[in-house]
Chain A
Amino acid sequence: MAHEPQHEQHYHDAANVTNPEHASHHIVTPRVYAAVFATLLACTALTVFAADINLGVFNPIIALAIASFKGVIVILFFMHVKYQSRLIKVTVGAGFFMFLVLVTMTLSDYISRAWGLW
């Protein structure tokens, strides 16, 4: 099949290597995983600890900030998004963006339905 090598080339030509949809396979080492794991455990302890201090309105903000941080490092390292193509990064972003659209656009109704009372 003489034309086969040509086909191969088309998938590995220069345009494809710089293709934003393409990323080489990166193996994350156990060392990185362990560091992330330790951070996650520390954050869990921190969030329980922070909940016991009375910080008023900052309690939920801190709790959510910690949870978001944990979520982000899980996504970046455990789920390898840091080493993925731009396409995957955009996809992940799109998911959270749409969730925020659902929340904020719906809240625009609830908050302004009864100002200050919601």
Chain B
Amino acid sequence: MHSAIANPQADQAQQHEHVSLPQHRHHFATPEQQREAGSFGMWLFLLTEIMFFGGLFFAYLLFRNWYYDAFVTASNQLSVPLGAVNTAILITSGFFMALAVWAAEVRKKNLLVLFLVLTTLLGFAFLGIKADEYHEKYEKHHIPGASFDTSQFINPAAYGLSEKPLAPDAAQKTQLFFFLYFAMTGMHALHMVLGLGILFWLMIRAQRGDFSSGYVAPIENFGLYWHFVDIVWIFLFPLLYLINRHPLAH
């Protein structure tokens, strides 16, 4: 990193000879300090993520209260089985990620790689189902924008739905629901895509044996990120899919 080393720094390099790990960065006094700094930094990053999603969650809260009926009707267009299965898939993916951290901590290289692969596969499964749901919305013209179609909400009986019919201007508000649905799940999916990219890089390095000799910080910190993405979905699922599944009784 610093190609030209001054004499005092050469001294410094010798001082740090006791550090065995090649990953140890020399501006940290001890590997312990480095590990704690990394994990703390990751947590602070997740804090920014909480606030980032927080703005969207607040927008959801506001419009859900303002346009409750429209939100209920629109929400009932989402498939609960697909949502529930996706929740289970994501939780399982998180479980394997947690096991991957454990495998790295106990230095079992093959298990670590296996768990990372499983985490990745389930991540892709989640995105696959999500893509299928998006496609269905596209076919039903439920993607907000010029082609958005409210007829299904104004006259649900014609579509064989047992929903409360909405007045045209109320039905227009379903577009807000779908906008928030796409914004929130889309932002969540974007985080997953980024996570999957990092997972590939981690898998390659794990296969090389980088994380099975006591250096687990990247696995741990990525685990924090992956679990955070999980938590966002844990809240998105009931808020978007389960607003009120019995509108006529309401």
Contacts and interface: CB of A to CB of B under 8 A. Distances in A.
Given A48-B84, A74-B234, A78-B223, A11 B29 contact: yes
A105 B18 CA distance: 53
Contacts of B18: 4
Contacts of A88: 39-40, 43
Given A1-B14, A41-B88, A74-B234, A27 B246 contact: no
Interface string B88-111: 100110110111011001100000
Contacts of A96: 50
Contacts of B230: 74, 78
A78 B95 CA distance: 8
A34 B40 CA distance: 26
B15 A44 contact: no
B14 A110 contact: no
Most A Cβ at <10 Å: residue of B11, B36, B250: B36
A11 B5 CA distance: 26
Contacts of A52: 245-246
A103 B58 contact: yes
Interface of chain B, main secondary structure: helix
Interface string B234-250: 11011100111110011
A110 B65 CA distance: 10
Nearest to A91: B43
Contacts of B244: 59
Contacts of A27: 102, 105-106
A71 B29 contact: no
Interface of chain A, main secondary structure: helix
Interface string A71-99: 10011011110001101100110111011
Given A40-B91, A48-B84, A74 B50 contact: no
A110 B230 CA distance: 30
B62 interface: yes
Nearest to B43: A91
B95 to A, nearest CB: 4
Contact of B54 (A37, A60, A94, A102): A102
Contact of B234 (A1, A51, A67, A103): A67
B231 A71 contact: yes
Given A8-B30, A27-B102, A118-B66, A54 B95 contact: no
Contacts of A30: 99, 102
B170 interface: no
Given A33-B98, A78-B223, A106-B58, A51 B245 contact: yes
B61 interface: yes
A7 B29 contact: yes
B92 A44 contact: no
A33 B95 contact: yes
Given A88-B43, A102-B55, A110 B62 contact: yes
Contacts of A112: none
A85 B30 CA distance: 17
Contacts of B14: 1
25 contacts: A4-B15, A8-B30, A23-B36, A27-B106, A37-B91, A37-B95, A41-B88, A44-B91, A45-B84, A51-B80, A59-B242, A60-B238, A64-B235, A67-B234, A71-B231, A71-B234, A78-B95, A78-B98, A91-B43, A91-B44, A92-B43, A92-B47, A95-B50, A98-B51, A102-B54
